[in-house]
Amino acid sequence: MDSWKGPDRPIGRLTDCRTVGELAREVCERKGFGYPHTFGRAVEMVTSMSLDPVRCLEFGLSKLKFFPQNQNRKARWNFKNFVELYRPTQIPSAASRAAAYLGDVCAKIEELDLSYSPNLVKYREHGMPWLETCIGRLPKCLPKERLMTVLAFLGSVGMIHNGDFVSFQKLGELEHQLPVTQRHMKELRILSQLLLVQSPAVWRFHESIPTKLVLPPVVPPRPAHPRPLVQEERRALADFEIDGEPGEELVERIQLSTVPASANARWTDLETSYIRVRRELSHIRAYEEYLRRCKEIPVAVRTFSAFKKKRQCLMSDV
CA distance 294 to 288: 10
What is the SS3 assignment for 84? strand
| Per-residue confidence (pLDDT) for residue 5, from 0 to 100 | 57
pLDDT digits (tens, 9 = 90+) for 92-130: 888 888 888 899 999 999 999 999 999 999 999 888 999
Closest CA relative to residue 153, chosen from 122, 125, 136, 176 = 176
Residue 114's pLDDT is 94
Give the pLDDT confidence of 200-222 residue by residue, as tens digits: 999 999 999 999 998 888 778 77
Beta bridge pairs of residue 106: none
Query: What long-range pairs does 173-177 form, CB within 8 A, spacing at least 24?
Result: 174/112, 174/114, 174/149, 175/200, 175/202, 177/149
pLDDT of residue 187: 94
Global pTM exceeds 0.85: no
> Are β-strands 13-19 and 202-205 bridged in parallel, bridged antiparallel, or unpaired?
unpaired
Q: Which residue has the higher pLDDT, 85 or 191?
A: 191
Q: What is the DSSP string of 264-293?
A: -PPPPHHHHHT----TTS-HHHHHHHHHHH
Top-confidence residue, 126 or 72: 126
Higher pLDDT, 234 or 132: 132
DSSP state of 301: B
The better pLDDT of the pair 216, 9 is held by 216
Q: What is the percent of the chain where pLDDT is above 90?
A: 31
Where helices occur in 138-209 by DSSP H, the ranges are 144-161, 168-175, 182-187
Tell me what pLDDT residue 252 has.
45
Burial of 207 (0-12, 13-18, 19+ CB in 10 A): exposed
Is the predicted pLDDT of residue 39 greater than 80, yes or no? no
Predicted pLDDT at 246: 45
Whether omega before 221 lies within 30 degrees of 0, making that bond cis, reads no
Please write the tens of the pLDDT for every residue from 249-297: 444 444 556 666 556 677 777 777 777 767 777 888 888 888 888 777 7
Q: What's the pLDDT band for 43 if we cut at 50, 70, 90?
A: confident
